[in-house]
Amino acid sequence: MRRRRVVIGLVGLAGLALAGAAVLAWSDPPRPGLSGFEQVQPGMTHAEVYATVGGPPGDYTDMGFTHAIPPEGTEFWVANDGLLTVTYGADGRVAQAVAEPYAFSSRAFFWHRLLARLGL
């Protein structure tokens, strides 16, 4: 009887550990988004913008977003919830920052993320 309790307890602990590992594996790391985009202000340096946004310019959407190559002195960030366009002046500091909300289809993201996690 005692052995059965020990086995059931170990199986229960293994199940909890497996569930915890699954939650950690399926959770998304923090990434650039509209809340960070809205904090970019004129006068910031490249390093300050990258630190505020959470990464270098690029596509941070779940599905990939096709966009044009920015003109000289301009950088783009694209996230699931918004877009950021930053134009730098001759001094290398932000001259203009435009953060715009942009909603992608969450239903499409769910399926894309699921298939990506399954390696398909």
In a 10 Å sphere around its CB, with 0-12 CB exposed, 13-18 middle and 19+ buried, how is residue 115 labelled?
Answer: exposed
pLDDT of residue 86: 97
Could you tell me the maximum CA-CA distance found in the chain, to the nearest angstrom?
A: 79
Interior angle at CA 54, CA 81 and CA 46, nearest 5: 115
Tell me the pLDDT tens digit for each residue of 16-54. 766 655 554 555 566 789 999 999 999 999 999 999 999
pTM: 0.64
Phi, psi (rounded to 5 degrees) for 114: -60, -50
Tell me what the mean pLDDT of segment 101-118 comes to: 65
Helix, strand, coil % over all residues of the chain, rounded to 5: 40, 20, 40
pLDDT of residue 117: 67
HSE-up of 8 (CA within 13 Å, CB side)? 5
- Tokens 């229960």 appear where? 12
Length of the chain: 120
